[in-house]
Amino acid sequence: MGQFSLSAVGVDRPGIVAAVSGVLMELGCNIEDSTMSILQGHFAILLVVSAPAAVGAAAVEEALDPVARRFALLVVVRSFDEGDGDGGGAKGRVETGGRAESAAEGWTIAVHGADRPGIVHAVASTLAEVGGNVIDLTTHLVGAPEAPVYVMTLRATLPAGEAGAAAAEVRRSAEALGVHCTVQRDEAELL
Q: What is the pLDDT of residues 99-140, one digit of tens each?
A: 444 578 899 999 999 988 899 999 999 999 999 999 999 998
Count of structural domains, the chain: 2
Reply yes or no on whether the pLDDT at 97 is more than 80: no
pTM, entire model:
0.69
Q: What is the DSSP letter of 91?
A: G
**Same domain (yes/no): 87, 119:** no
How far from chain centre, in Å, is Cα 81?
Answer: 20
Containing domain of residue 51, as a range? Answer: 2-91
Beta-ladder partners of 46: 7, 35
In this structure, what CATH number is given to the domain that contains residue 118?
3.30.70.260
pLDDT of residue 19: 96
- Summarised one tens digit per residue, pLDDT across range 135-185 is 999 998 898 888 889 999 999 999 888 888 988 999 999 999 999 999 999
The pLDDT tens digits of the residues spanning 70-91 come to 999 999 999 987 554 443 333 3
Backbone angles phi, psi at 33, to 5 degrees: -150, 145
Note the pLDDT tens digit of each residue in 30-58.
999 999 999 889 999 999 999 999 999 99
- 136 belongs to a structural domain: yes
Same domain, 113 and 169: yes
Q: Give the model's pLDDT for residue 188.
A: 64
Note whether residue 191 is domain-resident.
no
Among 91, 125, 153, the domain boundary falls at 91
In order of 46, 91, 130, the CA distances from 99 in angstroms are: 25, 13, 12
Residue 85 sits in the same domain as residue 17: yes
| Angle 128-36-155 from CA coordinates, rounded to 5° | 30
Domain boundary among 35, 66, 91: 91
170 in any annotated domain: yes
Judge if 123 and 59 occupy the same domain: no
**pLDDT for the residue 86:** 42
